[in-house]
Amino acid sequence: MLEVDETARVDKTVRFNHGSSDVRVGARTKIYRGGEFTGPVAIGEDAFINRDAYVRPHTTIGDRVNLGPFVRLVTDSHAIGPHERRAGTVRHDPIVLGDGCWIGASATVLGGVTVGAGAIVAAGAIVTEDVPDDVLVAGVPARVVRRLDA
């Protein structure tokens, strides 16, 4: 089921792939053009999602989260298969973006990661491990660069 709060603004080019899974978009959230969201996905209130976001199943986006353009939240992975085909059974490891965090342009967050409240992920970073609250992470793989005021 697709549930978009009446105060949310979603560009008509955004794709919601929800089928039997829920996609929820909270109050006052803005989603710019070209995004693709495959449920289940929950987006909190007053979030801002810039153009061409790619959001995969089992993703939770908190309140007041900002996503820069071309951000990828990729929960898809595979078990390691046998020699003949290493990409084994598909799985979706959840992603959680804490309230007030900011994910910079073209950053990628991989499955199984929680980005803490008030954290910043620098543009172009690839996040492979949990990010604490109120830190700035950057790089490939992303590492803590500095602490931020709470």
78 is an active site residue: yes
Rg (CA), the chain: 15
Q: What is the dihedral of CA 129, 104, 115, 87, to 10 degrees?
A: -40
**Given 58, 78, 83, 92, which residue is catalytic?**
78
For 75-119, give the DSSP string.
-EEEEE--TT-SEEEEEE--EEE-TT-EE-TT-EEETT-EEPTT-
Residue recorded with tokens 């008509």: 12
Which residues form the catalytic set? 78
